[in-house]
Chains A and B, each alone.
Chain A
Amino acid sequence: MKSKHYTSSTNMYFTLKVVMVSLIVLFVSAQVNAQSHQVIKGTVKTSEDNQPLPGANIYLKSLSSVGTFSDSKGEFEFPRLLQKGDTLVFSFLGLKTTEYGVPDQPVTSLVIEMEADLIQMVDEILVEDDESSRVALLPKRVRKQKNNR
């Protein structure tokens, strides 16, 4: 009888211990989670004139279906909590696609500056004088055609 009582109290003690450890683990993991996952919000600007950029596409590099756009003030709030190792991609026509790696520490007032995608614009196109000939545009030809217009 004594031995049964002893076993029962040992079991109780063990259960209590398990519950306590589980609670501690839960508490610690919640803390860690709260520290590493964060809301990323900020402003997108053009580096050339430092003006807010509305309509920039912002998406998660590892899962490009998750994303958002900068609003009329160039501001955005990413719709998913992010952690260190996540990379955001910022894209806009005519500007260099820019990537931002989420850091470990909390991010406040993030500003993403996007540079102009300066490429040498050249301009050969096909022009048609008549249905039978296909010739490309030459400087001399352009002048001639321009005068004729």
Chain B
Amino acid sequence: MIRAFILCALCCSVSLGQVTDFKTTHFYKADSIAERLTAHPLIDLKTLADKLTSQLLTEQEKFRAIYKWVCSNIEADYELVLLNKQNRTKLSGDQLLQWNRKFNKMVFEALQRDHKTVCTGYAYLVRELALHAGLTCVIVNGYAKHAGVDGYTLGDVNHSWNKIRLNGKWYVCDATWSSGIFNVSAGKFIKKYDDRYFLMEPTFFLQTHYTLE
């Protein structure tokens, strides 16, 4: 199992691209468009995707505008995180399925109403906006490595991020971790954009994430 895991991780690192592939691309325009659309409502994702990307020519710039908007406008919802963790630990079988269904609704409602979510909500939003912009993007479920999970102590998947195809090559990014940190004692989310998780370097990705693929 562990060997297969390591092999998979190595294969993954070889095939993935990284942000340095776009050394000549300046993301200023994409970032500025994302900033201009701060607090844009989330009722209609197609319109938002169009506004974010229609003035940009390259796939990497389009994706950058989407990623930057999501990271800058969505907050992690600690209450939802706790609620889901408790129920996922407590429930099983049909009850768990029922909970997942209910929680899905809650997450989407919170996302639309408050611009708050859990990590899969970030990944969902990135995927949907990218798809509306004509890009190929998927959600990946796996493990957050520095949550104390390692190859020997794998339990249920605990994290979601995205794989995005740009100019025929796959890249990974983690909008949840790019967006900021939740300060538990202050009870609030601190927005703090971290660029390391945007089109991650494969070595950095392997240090921080375990994928099931």
A97 at the interface (CB under 8 A from B): yes
Q: Main SS of the interface on chain B? A: helix
A106-149 vs B: 1/0 string, CB under 8 Å? 00000000001111111111111100001111110010011001
* A91 within 8 A of partner (CB): yes
Interface pair A94/B108, CB less than 8 Å apart: yes
Contacts of A69 in B (CB 8 A): 44
| CB within 8 Å: A-B pair count | 127
Is B23's beta carbon under 8 Å from chain A?
no
Check B176 against A124 for contact (C-beta < 8 Å).
Answer: yes
Q: Is the CB of A127 within 8 A of B183?
A: yes
The residue on B at minimum CB distance from A58 is B46
Q: Is A42 an interface residue when CB atoms closer than 8 A count as contact? A: no
Contact at B132–A127, with CB atoms within 8 Å? no
Number of A residues with CB within 8 Å of any CB on chain B:
36
Determine if B118 and A91 form an interchain contact, defined as CB atoms under 8 angstroms apart: no
Distance in Å from the Cβ of B191 to the closest Cβ of chain A?
A: 12
Inter-subunit contact B50/A126 (CB<8 Å): no
- Over the window 71-90 of chain A, the binary record of Cβ atoms lying under 8 Å from chain B Cβ atoms (1 yes, 0 no) is 00000000000000000010
Chain B hits for A121, CB < 8 A: 84, 100, 103-104, 107, 118, 120-121
**CB < 8 Å neighbour of A64 from B46, B105, B159:** B46
* Neighbour of A124 across the interface among B50, B100, B103, B119, CB < 8 A: B119
Cβ B46 vs Cβ A123 within 8 A: no
Report chain B residues within 8 Å CB of A119.
Answer: 104, 120, 124, 139
Number of interface residues of B (CB under 8 A): 54
User: Closest approach, in angstroms, between the C-beta of B203 and any C-beta of chain A?
Assistant: 19
Q: What are the interface flags for B35-48 relative to A under an 8 Å C-beta threshold, 1 for contact and 0 otherwise?
A: 00000001111110
Binds A, one of B7-15, B61-69, B142-150, B165-173: B142-150
Q: Is B160 an interface residue (CB 8 A)?
A: yes
B100 near A93 with CB under 8 A, answer no
Q: Which chain B residues numbered 69 to 99 have a C-beta less than 8 Å away from chain A?
A: 76, 78, 80-82, 84-85, 89
Asked whether, in the complex, the Cβ of A91 is within 8 Å of the Cβ of B46, the reply is yes
**Interface code B117-138, partner A: CB below 8 Å = 1, 0 otherwise?**
0111100100010011000000
- Interface pair A125/B107, CB less than 8 Å apart: no
Does B26 sit within 8 A of A, measured CB to CB? Answer: no
User: Would you give 20 A-B contacts (Cβ < 8 Å), ordered by A?
Assistant: A55-B43, A64-B46, A67-B46, A89-B46, A91-B44, A94-B104, A94-B109, A97-B128, A118-B101, A120-B157, A121-B104, A122-B119, A123-B85, A124-B176, A126-B76, A126-B181, A126-B182, A127-B184, A136-B144, A138-B148
